[in-house]
Amino acid sequence: MRKGVNRMDIKEQVQEVLDKLRPFLLRDGGDCDLVDVEDGVVKLRLLGACGSCPSSTITLKAGIERALLEEVPGVVEVEQVF
């Protein structure tokens, strides 16, 4: 984690990005819940249609993770938790 960036700042920034992405997830009947951020690893729970969708890994890695890596300094990876 970068010096001067505390855990709450990263969580707030992650939540802001997720709030921007949420309408796209909701449109397809899904959603996501921020579980935690530890050492730059964002832990998300996919909900609704996203939780059972065969393409959820693509949504998580190619969509959500890419946006978080670009927009939130200190994020290094996104993991799905169940």
Nearest alpha carbon to residue 69 among 17, 2, 32: 17
pLDDT in tens, the chain (82 residues): 455 556 559 999 999 999 999 999 999 899 999 999 999 999 999 999 988 888 888 889 999 999 999 999 999 999 999 8
CATH for the 7-80 domain, from 1.20.1260.10, 1.10.3660.10, 3.20.20.70, 3.30.300.130? 3.30.300.130
Q: What is the pTM of this model?
A: 0.86
Domain boundaries defined on the chain: 7-80
SS3 17: helix
Angle at 13 between CA 69 and CA 6, to 5 degrees: 95
The two tokens of residue 41 are 């690893």
